[in-house]
Amino acid sequence: MATSKTRWAWTLATFFGTGYLAPGPGTYGSVAAVLLWYAAAHILAATPASLAVATLAAAIMVTAIGVPASTRTAREAGRKDPGFVVIDEVAGQLFALILLPPDWKHALLALVLFRLFDITKPWPIHRLEALPEGMGIMLDDVAAGLLAFVCGAGIQHLGPHIH
């Protein structure tokens, strides 16, 4: 690791230290995002529409902040995509949660789908890793989150009709 760290970037890129947890820091980042979403939905007693809008806004904001934070952290660490950078998992997980009801079954569904697509990186998601610096770090996870969102919405829609 680098001797000089830009505190704001490292704090956000590691999602307040979650990225230092082992094994599987990306999973910890995803779980942290799910738990925060779940808690916020219940504490704020959000309507489905307001929860969806707030989740989308949070996902966009985390992505926008994550690009420069992960760029700076990766540069200072001297690594292309350090495993301890988990702000990308937080953003992707938030995208996966949009429109889902805030119950444990849907939260678990979004978590499993996002991690599946984030780890396997099906085409064309893996191609986004080739983008430069923070864009490559962030956008493959955003794409995995969007794919998880589509699959989760489909499962939610079909679920009541499957016997």
Q: What range does the domain containing 74 cover?
A: 7-155
Amino acid 2: pLDDT: 45
For residues 36 and 70, what is the distance between their CA atoms, to the nearest angstrom?
21
Q: Look at residue 103 and tell me if it is in a domain.
A: yes
Establish if 162 belongs to a structural domain: no
pTM > 0.85: yes or no: yes
Q: Give the model confidence (pLDDT) of 74-106 as tens digits.
A: 999 999 999 999 999 999 999 999 999 999 999
Q: Is residue 39 part of a domain?
A: yes
Q: Is residue 1 part of a domain?
A: no
Per the domain annotation, does 40 fall within a domain?
yes
* Consecutive H or E run containing 65: helix 48-77
Q: Domains in the chain: how many in total? A: 1
Question: Is 161 inside a domain boundary?
Answer: no
